[in-house]
Amino acid sequence: MPESHAEIETDELARRMSAVVGEAHCISDPAGLSVYECDGLSHGRIRPRLVVLPASTEEVVEVVRLAHDAGVPLVPRGSGTGLSGGARPTPGGVVVALSRMRRVLEVNLEDGWVRLEPGVINLDVTRAVQGRGWYYAPDPSSQSICSIGGNVAENSGGAHCLKYGFTVNHVLGARLVLDGGEVVDLGGPSPDTTGYDLLAALVGSEGMLGIVTEVTLRLLRKPEATRTFLATFPSSDEAGEAVSGIIAAGILPAAIEMMDTLAIQAAKAATGLNWPEVGSILLMDVDGPLAEAEHTSAAAIGIARSAGALEVRIPVDEAERQLMWKGRKSAFAAVGRLSPNYMVEDGVIPRSEIARVLREIGRMAGEAGLRVANVFHAGDGNLHPLVLYDARNPGEEEKAAKLGGDILRLCVRLGGSITGEHGVGAEKAAYMADMFAPEDLETMFLVRCAFDPEARFNPDKVFPTPRLCGERPGPYRPHPAEAAGLVERW
Amino acid sequence: MTTRGHLDECVHCGFCLPVCPTWINWGEEMDSPRGRIDLLRGVRDGKLEFDGPVALHLDRCLGCMACMTACPSGVRYDLVIEEARAQRELAVPRGLFDRLHRAALFSLFPYPRRLRLAAALLFLYSRSGLQWLMRATGLLRLVSSRLATLDALVPRIGTASLASGLPARLPAAGERRARVGLVTGCVQGVFFPNVNAATARVLVAEGCEVVVPPGQGCCGALSTHAGRLDEARRLVRGLIERFEAVEVDVVVINSAGCGSHLKDCQRLFAGDPFEPRAAAFSKKVRDVNELVDSLPPRAVRHPLQARVAYHSPCHLGHAQRLTAPPRALLRAIPGLELIEIADGDQCCGSAGIYNLVQPASADQIGARKAAAVLASGASWLASANPGCTLHIQRQLRERGATIRAAQPIEILDASLRGRTEPDGG
């Protein structure tokens, strides 16, 4: 019979966990615990009861069993770079940090896959195989540090997902530890299409179904050629038109990224790039066989020019190309140079609405008296408005949060979504009801309950009103005993 | 409105984690730059005590500044850690052995004369068979792993270490392009006298008049990086005064840790009447690789057949952002093949006195570096910092491997003199 979590003393739990992972890898001192209070979303911190760092599937199994027996919630954590608070600790819960599980277990280039532990860093997958002309396609901006386990949990995207798809398109298999310690393998290196696609349910489940301890990823051959260009525009109107025009012409770039003036300023400050501070820029990659890349790139540049590009820059060498992308990928964190605090939003809109929505965001920001920087995946219509504020000014944080919420609702109104790739986590749970009817949420919850009936894993995320499996949502329905007149309503 | 401190510039993005040697060691947030900043914020905001665990995680930081290169937000981690180290010494008293060990290091390293005496004793120690005995019996490790580390690091002492140095002035070869003052350093001058000699020869050959102010002591870098700021001020002030007496266009230094400290030493005198003098001095400081690279080559580079792996010292690559000049200087030598070490921008674990005070962590980091150096297949290791060279050579020795090591400037010197290899190694 599981003990309720109030019953077990933290010291006793720490003793039991230490016996599994080793004393050095069970963190219980206030200093150690304090640094696990948040992930990449640094407000709304919660100090965990314990942090454990297991080193193998076997250790994870034991940790999960102990937590199950003690009735303690678990929160899996990768590198702690998530932007929606998905790895924020649950009060009274134990954080399971997977950053020690970072071995690449098997590389099979003949069949184009790699099997690895969840703590492996995204970019290290590519590093392990690039010498032989292969790479791992999904490239979140945090790819130099975010973990594959975290990518699986969040179904992470990235600039090049426009052409190559999100994490879900690249995960071939996963080993999952369920509550109680059962280990299940979903999918595998060979195509596995029989029955329900449980793997697809796992990818993007935000750590709510179990703990992933192994992942098999699809690898791709590095394209023969990549052509990169940067186009500058007076405003997002022309840039937005260029994006729509390029896609409408049947061109599928590997990536089209848009940045506005504030984002350009931040990227320049972080990398020393000499970009002009125009209203908007597009950074675009086209890849494929050489002839195709050349042809498509020329066509896209033509469309950008006729949409009103002021200037088109082509990097002279790979080093300059890398620097341009570094500018783009460091832009989020670089905004820290422009403002003491900011909130990263992550909404999706139909691509054709980009210019209109950016104008509307500008208007809303003006009304709120705040600045908003925009740096985002234009090809997917995946916006990242960064709401800048100064928490030291009374009321400004609340104003920023309201503006962020209003922007997300605007996205939903236009037929988009409250998240494109950062996940719902703790931060966006409140907006789920703006996007989904209660029945939708109920259906999603049933999936969760099928894997994790006691809500052991990451219990207070994603759903706007956390509850236990078996609780009936919706309007009151009389209990059969009540209907039979045996008892009064309780 | 309060002034925004350096701690608040961190946006918690985590880009610093994968470049931090201690995060790579243990995968733990507390031993990452982001984690340490978080700890210090906790202390500042009264949410955490400045206690043993906080001190431990600060002590484990190498100060390699790789995080500064990686940080998109431009956090001044160098200032954060320096200030935190000073606070740490006050907040958490060190144990007796730790105190004595540090006191011994800090009363030895900054003083060239004492170092020279130590070198003489070490010369006897190594040649008398005592060193062999201590190592063979494992007696030293039994007494202390720190002492054993120190023993293993000691370079082979030549008789040149026992004499002190260079003439006070060397005229430029050909038309003079600059009048340069040479900082001879403490460890560099005693344990690697060839480096100073090579530096002077290259500068002379490239048209610099070289002045070597007499009576130089330590520049205070070790003290600054350890948070011993009063000591640092005293030492650097002494050095600056020696250089003021000789009036030079450029102050050149061939030790990366010292260079990064000297380029920024005016900070130590904020609000002090000495500040403008320190600032004037700082502005003149150049790393020797930086200076030579900035002068159009004049002397003939003779071919040197060698496969050279370049190790980028953190205080050159990260703190001074000088990654290209030493490589350019080596590449310009005909016949020399320059090899990059995998993860070459990562610290080797030496980090000033880090390998002496945190030997276990330093060994873990050093093991990765040694493996990468061996995998590079190089016959020479070029490193622009004496501490790195000693540490990497020791790591290789413990794996039964050896590699000949020299500073880039020594290799260039060999090329200019038409030698087949540098004097050192």
Q: Measure the CA–CA gap between A398 and A403, rounded to whole angstroms.
A: 9
Asked if residue B329 lies in contact with residue B416, where contact means CB atoms within 8 angstroms, the answer is no
Q: Which residues of chain B from 11 to 70 reach within 8 Å of chain A, CB to CB?
A: 11-15, 17-18, 26-30, 34-35, 38-39, 42, 47-49, 51, 53-54, 57, 70
How many inter-chain contacts (A to B, CB under 8 Å) are there? 101
Residue A200's Cβ-count burial label (10 Å; 0-12, 13-18, 19+) is: middle
Closest approach of A134 to chain B, Cα-based (Å):
18
Among the listed residues B165, B242, B248, B171, the one whose alpha carbon sits nearest the alpha carbon of residue B207 = B171
Bridge partner residues of A77 (DSSP): A97
Asked if residue B330 lies in contact with residue B308, where contact means CB atoms within 8 angstroms, the answer is yes
Q: Phi then psi for B231, rounded to 5 degrees?
A: -60, -45
Choose which CATH entry (3.30.460, 1.10.1740, 1.10.3470, 3.40.50) describes domain B300-416.
3.40.50
Q: Taking CB atoms and an 8 Å limit, are B11 and A145 in contact across chains?
A: no
- For residue B284, the one-letter residue type is K
Tell me what the mean pLDDT of segment A119-126 comes to: 98
Asked if the model's pLDDT at residue A5 lies above 70, the reply is no
Q: Taking CB atoms and an 8 Å limit, are A100 and B26 in contact across chains?
A: yes
Asked if the model's pLDDT at residue B136 lies above 70, the reply is no
Residue that wins the pLDDT comparison between B135 and A76: A76
Q: Is B227 on the interface with A (CB under 8 A)?
A: no
Structure confidence at residue A249 (pLDDT): 94
Best of B4, B8, B28 to mutate (most A CBs within 10 Å, chain A):
B28
Q: Taking CB atoms and an 8 Å limit, are B30 and A31 in contact across chains?
A: yes
Q: Measure the CA–CA gap between B376 and B399, rounded to whole angstroms.
A: 15
Among the listed residues B266, B309, B317, the one whose alpha carbon sits nearest the alpha carbon of residue B290 = B317
Domains of chain A: 10-97 (3.30.43.10), 104-221 (3.30.465.10), 225-413 (3.40.462.10)
Mind listing the pLDDT tens digit for each residue in A285-320? 999 999 999 999 999 999 999 999 999 999 999 999
Closest approach of B79 to chain A, Cα-based (Å):
17
As a whole number, the mean pLDDT across chain B is 88
CA angle A110, A111, A116 (to 5 degrees): 105
As a whole number, the mean pLDDT across chain A is 92
Asked if the model's pLDDT at residue B48 lies above 70, the reply is yes
Q: Taking CB atoms and an 8 Å limit, are A34 and B39 in contact across chains?
A: yes
3-state secondary structure at position A227: strand
DSSP codes joined into one string, A266-296? HHHHHH-------SEEEEEEEEESHHHHHHH
Bridge partner residues of A325 (DSSP): none
User: Which residues on chain A are in Cβ contact (under 8 Å) with B17?
Assistant: 79, 145
In A, what residues contact B, Cβ < 8 A? Answer: 27, 29-32, 34-40, 42, 53, 79-81, 97, 99-100, 102, 119, 121, 123, 142, 144-146, 269-270, 330-337, 340, 342, 392
- For residue A136, the one-letter residue type is Y
Least confident of A330-339, A427-436, B121-130, B265-274: B121-130
Structure confidence at residue A257 (pLDDT): 95
Percent of residues, chain A, with pLDDT higher than 70? 94
Closest approach of A380 to chain B, Cα-based (Å):
23
Asked if the model's pLDDT at residue B424 lies above 60, the reply is no
Asked if the model's pLDDT at residue B381 lies above 60, the reply is yes
User: Which residues on chain A are in Cβ contact (under 8 Å) with B9?
Assistant: 336-337
Q: Is beta strand B250-253 parallel, antiparallel or unpaired with respect to B178-183?
A: parallel
Structure confidence at residue A490 (pLDDT): 45
> Residue B246 is encoded by which pair of tokens?
């000789």
Residue that wins the pLDDT comparison between B143 and B199: B199
B6-91 and B300-416 in the same fold: no
Q: Taking CB atoms and an 8 Å limit, are B14 and A145 in contact across chains?
A: yes
Interface ipTM:
0.91
- Non-local (6+) Cβ contacts of B240 within 8 A are B265, B277, B278, B281
Mind listing the pLDDT tens digit for each residue in A9-30? 999 999 999 999 999 999 999 9
Three-state DSSP string of B343-384: CCCCCCCCCCCHHHHCHHHHHHHHHHHHHHHHHHCCCEEEEC
Structure confidence at residue B156 (pLDDT): 60
Sign of CA dihedral B108, B111, B117, B121: positive
Q: Measure the CA–CA gap between A87 and A81, rounded to whole angstroms.
A: 9
Q: Where are the domains of chain B?
A: 6-91, 98-160, 164-293, 300-416
Among the listed residues B372, B384, B144, the one whose alpha carbon sits nearest the alpha carbon of residue B257 = B384
Structure confidence at residue A351 (pLDDT): 87
Q: Measure the CA–CA gap between A437 and A336, rounded to whole angstroms.
A: 37
Just give the CATH number of B164-293: 3.40.50
> Residue B332 is encoded by which pair of tokens?
């310009």
Asked if the model's pLDDT at residue A220 lies above 90, the reply is yes
Asked if the model's pLDDT at residue B127 lies above 70, the reply is no
- Non-local (6+) Cβ contacts of A47 within 8 A are A30, A33, A34, A36, A37, A89
The residue of chain B with its CA nearest to that of A340 is B9
Mind listing the pLDDT tens digit for each residue in A423-450? 999 999 999 999 999 999 999 999 999 9
Q: Taking CB atoms and an 8 Å limit, are A79 and B14 in contact across chains?
A: yes
Residue that wins the pLDDT comparison between B157 and B334: B334
Tell me what the mean pLDDT of segment B166-172 comes to: 91
CATH architecture assignment, domain B6-91: Orthogonal Bundle (1.10)
Asked if residue B74 lies in contact with residue B100, where contact means CB atoms within 8 angstroms, the answer is no
Q: Taking CB atoms and an 8 Å limit, are A145 and B57 in contact across chains?
A: no
Among the listed residues A145, A109, A151, the one whose alpha carbon sits nearest the alpha carbon of residue A129 = A109
Tell me what the mean pLDDT of segment B232-261 comes to: 94
Asked if the model's pLDDT at residue A255 lies above 80, the reply is yes
User: Which residues on chain A are in Cβ contact (under 8 Å) with B51?
Assistant: 31
DSSP codes joined into one string, A119-150? TSBHHHHHHHHGGGTEE-----TTTTT-BHHH
Q: Taking CB atoms and an 8 Å limit, are B8 and A269 in contact across chains?
A: no
Asked if the model's pLDDT at residue B128 lies above 70, the reply is no
Question: What value does the CA radius of gyration of chain A take, rounded to a whole number of Å?
Answer: 24
Q: Taking CB atoms and an 8 Å limit, are A144 and B70 in contact across chains?
A: yes
Structure confidence at residue A289 (pLDDT): 96
Least confident of A212-216, A279-283, B130-134: B130-134
Where is mean pLDDT largest: A288-292, A475-479, B221-225, B255-259? A288-292
User: If you search the block for the tokens 């010498």, which residue do you land on?
Assistant: A131
Asked if the model's pLDDT at residue A267 lies above 60, the reply is yes
Alpha-carbon distances of B390 from A223, B153, B348, B396, rounded to whole Å: 43, 6, 10, 10
Among the listed residues A351, A140, A323, the one whose alpha carbon sits nearest the alpha carbon of residue A230 = A323
The residue of chain A with its CA nearest to that of B50 is A31
Q: Taking CB atoms and an 8 Å limit, are B53 and A31 in contact across chains?
A: yes
Q: Measure the CA–CA gap between A329 and A255, rounded to whole angstroms.
A: 13
Least confident of A398-412, A470-484, B190-204: A470-484
Bridge partner residues of A388 (DSSP): A342, A371
Q: Measure the CA–CA gap between B214 and B10, rounded to whole angstroms.
A: 44
Mind listing the pLDDT tens digit for each residue in A145-203? 999 999 999 999 999 999 999 999 999 999 999 999 999 999 999 877 788 999 999 99
The residue of chain B with its CA nearest to that of A326 is B72
Which among B29, B48, B53 has the least Cβ separation from residue A36? Answer: B29
Which among B35, B51, B71 has the least Cβ separation from residue A35? Answer: B35
Q: Is beta strand B380-383 parallel, antiparallel or unpaired with respect to A382-383?
A: unpaired
- Non-local (6+) Cβ contacts of A294 within 8 A are A225, A227
Asked if the model's pLDDT at residue A399 lies above 60, the reply is yes
> Residue B97 is encoded by which pair of tokens?
């052995």
Q: Which pLDDT band holds residue A479 (cuts at 50, 70, 90)?
A: low
Structure confidence at residue B353 (pLDDT): 83
Structure confidence at residue B3 (pLDDT): 40
Q: Is beta strand A183-187 parallel, antiparallel or unpaired with respect to B178-183?
A: unpaired
Asked if residue B52 lies in contact with residue B377, where contact means CB atoms within 8 angstroms, the answer is no
